[in-house]
């Protein structure tokens, strides 16, 4: 089966199972989304959603965040892992947003990727979810599914992203990104995967 055919089957199933996938990270602005996505690195969305209400109660703008000490931020986000590094990135990027962007989150990949602690995937999520720009953020879930479904044999997420963008319509990238994450968690885990119970893998086999 050609990759394009696989992609068509996959998208039809994803649209049926997750027609309107919600954004899994709780946020109320581009800034709080940026912080939540940064915290989600090597941490579950569920854990981030437990931590951010307290953080955002204290500071949900760059101006409020820089008034907190590194230690205060770290103490709140400790259970997200890498707390020292993430706390420094959160405070430092907040200072940069104030100094260079009037306290606003920039809406380009290039500007976002220059912020401390913000990699390509985080930047892609922000421009997609906060600004509605066409992007296809690839995390470990999506990277794994793309390989399992025969859509990409890439060894890194950057090339997987490029491969997926060629296979799916640009207008659907944002929705597909979320659909694939939800699908991976519910039907297609890394371990204990059963093809018979996986609608897409069984359809492709």
The whole-angstrom separation of Cα 141 and Cα 146 is 9
User: Among 27, 25, 28, 34, which residue's Cα sits nearest to residue 111?
Assistant: 34
Question: What is the token pair recorded at 72?
Answer: 């205060």
Distance between CA atoms of 141 and 48, rounded to whole angstroms? Answer: 17
The span from the CA of 88 to the CA of 116, in Å, is 8
Q: Both tokens of residue 31?
A: 């800034």
Catalytic residue from among 3, 45, 86, 121: 121
121 is catalytic: yes
Annotated active-site residue in 86, 91, 139, 163: 139
Residue 198 makes CB contacts below 8 A (sequence gap 6+) with: 187, 188
Positions marked catalytic? 121, 139
């Amino acid at each position: 089966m050609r990759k394009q055919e696989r992609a068509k089957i996959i998208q039809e199933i994803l649209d049926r199972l997750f027609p309107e996938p919600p954004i899994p990270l709780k946020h109320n602005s581009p800034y709080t989304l940026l912080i939540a996505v940064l915290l989600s690195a090597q941490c579950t969305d569920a854990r981030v959603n437990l931590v951010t209400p307290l953080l955002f109660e204290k500071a949900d703008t760059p101006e409020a965040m820089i008034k907190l000490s590194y230690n205060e931020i770290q103490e709140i986000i400790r259970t997200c892992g890498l707390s020292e590094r993430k706390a420094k990135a959160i405070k430092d990027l907040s200072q940069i947003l104030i100094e260079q962007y009037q306290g606003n989150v920039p809406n380009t990949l290039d500007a976002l990727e220059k912020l401390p602690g913000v990699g390509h995937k985080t930047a892609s999520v922000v421009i997609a979810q906060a600004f509605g720009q066409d992007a296809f953020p690839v995390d470990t879930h999506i990277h794994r599914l793309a390989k399992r479904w025969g859509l990409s044999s890439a060894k890194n997420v950057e090339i997987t992203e490029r491969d997926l963008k060629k296979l799916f319509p640009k207008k659907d990238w944002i929705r597909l990104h979320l659909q694939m994450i939800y699908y991976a968690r519910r039907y297609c885990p890394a371990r204990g995967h059963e093809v018979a119970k996986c609608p897409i893998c069984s359809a492709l086999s």
